[in-house]
Amino acid sequence: MKIKPLQIIAHIILILGVLLMVVPIWISFASSSHDSVTILTEGMKFHIGDQLARNYNEVLNEKGGWSEEVTAAKMFINSFIMALGIATLKVVISAMSAYALVYYRFKLAVPIFWLIFITLLVPLEVRIFPSYKIVSDLGLTNSYTGLILPLVASATATFFFRQFYKTIPDELLESAKLDGANAWSFFIDFLVPLSKTMIAAMFIFMFVYGYSQYLWPLIMTTAEEYWTVVMGMKIIYTESYEGVALPRTAERFAYIILSMIPPVLVVVFLQKWFIKGLIQTEK
Amino acid sequence: MSFLDLKNVTKIYPNGTKAVHETSLSVDEGEFMVFVGPSGCGKSTLLRMVAGLEDITEGDINLDGKLINEVDPSERDVAMVFQNYALYPHMNVYNNLAYGLKNRGIDKETIEQKVNDAAKLLQISDYLQRKPSMLSGGQRQRVAMGRAIVRNPKIFLFDEPLSNLDAKLRIQMRLEIKKLQQKVGVTSIFVTHDQVEAMTLADRLAVINNGIIEQLGTPIEIYDNPKSLFVAGFIGSPQMNFLDGNIKNKTLSAEGFEIKDIDSDFEGEVKLGIRPEHLSQRENSLINLKVDLVEQLGSDNLVYGQLKDKKDFCYRCPGNLTIEKGTDLSLNIENNKYYIFDKSTGKRVN
Ligand SMILES: Nc1ncnc2c1ncn2[C@@H]1O[C@H](COP(=O)(O)OP(=O)(O)OP(=O)(O)O)[C@@H](O)[C@H]1O
Ligand SMILES: [Mg+2]
């Protein structure tokens, strides 16, 4: 095969792009395996040091916070539960509401759709006080329900599912009907499998969205056992300024690396559905 | 009452389009009925009302002695083959066939047996594990048929199922559908706008125009005895020749010739219809044709030309006759096979 100059240029650009993404992560990872003192005196590292196990163990299991009770491991679990809950519910609710909007031709379908769409203009940050009021009136502060529930309605996902369902030919519904499918079985047997790449994509976006929430958990949680990773990030940065101790730079890097793992896992795990959808169009 | 009975069925779409006008029709058990007509005449609408996919604005539909106006499509026990097949893209062929049976709560072994039987009948046993996207057009067509057959429904409905196939495959599938229907013996309604398809498949034929059944009968009846100008022009290929004429005292004078002693008491403006295949060459005959173009089909020649008054005309002759462009032919109407229609109403008058 002859290599064209254009291809070489394209590859150079792609390799540069990859480096741009990967190098900072690698530096963080390498730095997280050294002594904090080494990093403070010698700067960031490109090679792996000998403190890897110690640093990560310390980050995961050291008890912190005011009560000296919450560990990073617990925060990871909290964030994971929150993100999982948000992503799952968002996908389920959006898919079902889009189903209702597209297939039940009631008169108000269009106005309702636009109403849902308009909520894009009022993200949680804008309505944070009323949301807080409602959640606290319901007695849901300091609970997973309170962390998840106000974030599960999604105009974006509803919109994407609606657009997708509209591309499914009417004959499919009609022939399913003649084959004895009811409203529920059409959704489960047809729309869900047909939109599985869509579901995977939405799930990934929504997981990352849920995982990176900061303001809402900050307001919502007073008990440290509900703290999330992103909140912990702040704690681990401010902590070192108390007293005379050295900033624990290496542990910070370890924490950052760890905090990336759950979203990366979700992407890696769902990626094969993505790819499948890209190479084999089932329309 | 026959197996399927439509009584004064009317369909008005929500936007006001009146697609079907007070149509009555009955189909006997095991009969192969074909709806034929030009695009937009309401064939699909009529069929979809039988399937339950469209509401019936007025009238009654009875199937197997039961009024089904308000019965849900899933409960009607009808099967439909769509123009684009509407196969389930995410299921393999086996599941495409099995889905309707599963919904009826039939046990696994029975489903497997039925699917395998249907697959064998349609020669798709080798593809059962494939997705529809991995099949050719003809194979998809068979799967769609299989999905209908496997449920053993009361009635098969076909909405132009062959129009996505190439010409050769269409003729082959046409034959297969006919054979299959005879073998399985299920009452069927087949919608098409192709009159050849209609003629070859039908036990009985309903020619539909503008939401009205213009004529109902066996293909030969309709071909031999069209009741209206529309039916005469629609059935038969190449199309019937039409000439303007006038009847006075049982004498029809068309452009350039006269026919005496016609079998009609009608007086006034008429259309004279002559099928291209009902003509033969004979000296000093009525019709003089100047040949423009000859299409050689092998078995037949289609001769196109003009009459004295520049009117286009077609004559079909055996393929072994050689006819040169530019020659003048003298044509005779065989056995007096001509059709006269009232010009204003389109009704047959002889
Ligand atoms: N959903 C609808 N709403 C309004 N009018 C419709 C609708 N569907 C069909 N029509 C109209 O009803 C008439 C009959 O339509 P139909 O689909 O039955 O025609 P058809 O005979 O099947 O034609 P074709 O051979 O092109 O499929 C047409 O004039 C069409 O425009
Ligand atoms: Mg149609």
Q: Which of B228, B262, B281 is the last residue of a domain?
A: B228
Q: What is the mean pLDDT of chain A?
A: 85
Instruction: Say whether pLDDT at A283 is over 70.
Output: no
Q: Which residue has the tokens 């286009």?
A: B312
pLDDT value for B310: 81
pLDDT value for A43: 80
CA angle B171, B133, A179 (to 5 degrees): 80
Contact between B73 and B52 under an 8 Å Cβ cutoff? The reply is yes
The range of the structural domain enclosing residue B189 comes to 4-228
Q: Which of B15, B12, B35 is nearest to B191 (CA)?
A: B35
Structural domain includes residue B144: yes
CA distance A106 to chain B (A): 14
Q: Which of B179, B209, B228 is the last residue of a domain?
A: B228
CA distance B176 to chain A (A): 22
Return the CATH number at B258.
2.40.50.140
Structural domain includes residue A48: no
Helix (H, G, I), strand (E, B) or coil at B75: helix
Structural domain includes residue A244: yes
CA-CA distances (angstroms) from residue A126 to A117, A118, A209, A216? 16, 13, 16, 11
Q: Does B275 touch chain A (CB under 8 A)?
A: no
The range of the structural domain enclosing residue A178 comes to 67-279
Question: Which of B79, B90, B131 has the CB atom closest to A178's CB atom?
Answer: B79
Query: In percent, how much of chain B has pLDDT > 70?
Result: 100
Q: Does A282 touch chain B (CB under 8 A)?
A: yes
Number of Cβ pairs closer than 8 Å across A and B?
64
ipTM over 0.85: no
pLDDT tens per residue across span A11-61: 999 999 999 999 999 998 888 888 887 887 888 878 888 888 888 887 777
Q: Tell me, using a 6 A CB cutoff, whether residue B55 lines ligand 1.
A: no
Classify residue B228 by its DSSP letter. Answer: B
pLDDT tens per residue across span A55-103: 888 777 777 666 666 778 888 889 999 999 999 999 999 999 999 999 9
Structural domain includes residue B349: no
pLDDT value for A243: 55
Edge-to-edge strands, sheet with B32-36? B78-81, B155-159, B187-192, B32-36, B204-209, B212-217
Structural domain includes residue B50: yes
Higher pLDDT, B256 or B123: B123
pLDDT tens per residue across span B43-95: 999 999 999 999 999 999 999 999 999 999 988 999 999 988 899 999 999 99
Q: Does A105 touch chain B (CB under 8 A)?
A: no
Q: Indicate whether B250 and B322 sit together in one domain.
A: yes
Cα A232 to middle of ligand 2, angstroms: 64
Interchain CB distance below 8 Å, A174 and B86: yes
Please report which confidence band the pLDDT of residue A282 belongs to, taking 50, 70 and 90 as the band edges: very low
Q: Tell me, using a 6 A CB cutoff, whether residue B17 lines ligand 1.
A: yes
Q: Indicate whether B243 and B216 sit together in one domain.
A: no
Q: Cα–Cα distance between A49 and A28 in angstroms, integer?
A: 12
Query: Mutation test of the interface with chain B: which of A167, A179, A198, choosing the one with the most B Cβ atoms within 10 A?
Result: A179
pLDDT value for A40: 79
Q: Cα–Cα distance between B162 and B34 in angstroms, integer?
A: 13
pLDDT value for B340: 94
Interchain CB distance below 8 Å, A174 and B133: no
Q: Does B99 touch chain A (CB under 8 A)?
A: yes
Structural domain includes residue B264: yes
DSSP letter for each residue of A110-161: HHHHHHHHHGGGS-TTTTHHHHHHHHHHTT-TTSHHHHHGGG---HHHHHHH
Q: Tell me, using a 6 A CB cutoff, whether residue B39 lines ligand 1.
A: yes
Instruction: Say whether pLDDT at B144 is over 50.
Output: yes
Q: Indicate whether B85 and B106 sit together in one domain.
A: yes
pLDDT value for A10: 93
Q: In terms of pTM, does the model score above 0.80?
A: yes
Judging by DSSP bridges, how do beta strands B339-342 and B58-63 pair with one another?
Answer: unpaired
Protein residue closest via CA to atom 19 of ligand 1: B40
Task: From B45, B193, B210, give the residue whose CB has the most ligand 1 atoms within 8 Å, as the site to mutate.
Answer: B45
Q: Which of B228, B262, B284 is the last residue of a domain?
A: B228
Residues in the 5 Å CB sphere of ion ligand 2: B 44
Q: Which two tokens stand for residue B303?
A: 């001769």
Q: Which residues of A touch B131 (CB under 8 A)?
A: 282
Q: What is the mean pLDDT of chain B?
A: 91
**Number of domains comprising chain A:** 1
Q: Indicate whether B200 and B51 sit together in one domain.
A: yes
Q: Cα–Cα distance between A66 and B204 in angstroms, integer?
A: 89
Q: Indicate whether B67 and B131 sit together in one domain.
A: yes
Protein residue closest via CA to atom 28 of ligand 1: B40
Q: Indicate whether B187 and B330 sit together in one domain.
A: no
Contact between B11 and B59 under an 8 Å Cβ cutoff? The reply is no
Phi, psi (degrees; rounded to nearest 5) at A214: -120, -55
Q: Indicate whether B47 and B188 sit together in one domain.
A: yes
The residues that bridge with B205 in the sheet, in sequence order, are: B34, B217
**Number of domains comprising chain B:** 2
Q: Mean pLDDT, to the nearest integer, of B194-206?
A: 93
Q: Does B103 touch chain A (CB under 8 A)?
A: yes
Least confident of A115-124, B57-66, B215-224, B272-281: A115-124
pLDDT tens per residue across span A215-259: 888 888 888 788 888 888 777 766 655 555 667 778 888 888 888
Phi, psi (degrees; rounded to nearest 5) at A257: -60, -45
Instruction: Say whether pLDDT at B128 is over 70.
Output: yes
Cα B41 to middle of ligand 1, angstroms: 7
Structural domain includes residue B350: no
Structural domain includes residue B233: no
pLDDT tens per residue across span B291-346: 999 998 888 999 999 988 788 899 999 888 888 888 888 998 988 889 999 999 99
pLDDT value for B334: 86
Return the CATH number at A209.
1.10.3720.10
Structural domain includes residue A55: no
- Return the exposure string of A69-104: e unless at least 16 CB atoms fall within 10 Å of the residue's CB, then b: ebbbebbbebbbbbbbbbbbbbbeebbebbbbbbbe
Cα A168 to middle of ligand 2, angstroms: 19
Q: Which residues of B touch A174 (CB under 8 A)?
A: 51, 53, 73, 80, 82, 86
pLDDT value for A249: 79
Instruction: Say whether pLDDT at B6 is over 80.
Output: yes
CA distance A250 to chain B (A): 50
